[in-house]
Structure 1
């Protein structure tokens, strides 16, 4: 659907390039599963995808609303810090599962 179908995404050659806005999702999951991961790398990868940035911030906002300390989520970095790696990983795994299902349904 998207006009930006350039072939620089060809390097994701394990069937993920059909997700039009999230070539980064499997890569981010790989990052999160690496124990030596740098948070900045994760955040930088998330920032490349508006879908994922929004997803993470929305999730962080719901966490903040449920907490005693009402703070606003100021940035993606703040959102990631609020969620923590485990929560972030679970969120992205769920998102990927969702997308895979959508793809199979439309295929």
Structure 2
């Protein structure tokens, strides 16, 4: 996917390791316990036009786990978190060409 904003690895690291960054993880369950992360959502509580919002920064689902509703499950969870903390809404930016994200955007 190409974005008009481009890919900036240093900015992505700053975003991921920002002190306000929060994550919801989905891990594969194995007989011996939890193992690798197969999906995650990153977000922050932020202000947007004077309103407190949960801003969704990234949703990633590993290719072998796509089409199993994990994206929808993650967005359901962020909506619950936002509601619990009295956020006015959940926001995200979807770049042109991010066709896999269109359904998630509609869900929010």
| TM-score, with length taken from structure 1 | 0.29
| TM-score, with length taken from structure 2 | 0.29
User: Relative to total residues, which structure has the larger helix share, 1 or 2?
Assistant: 1
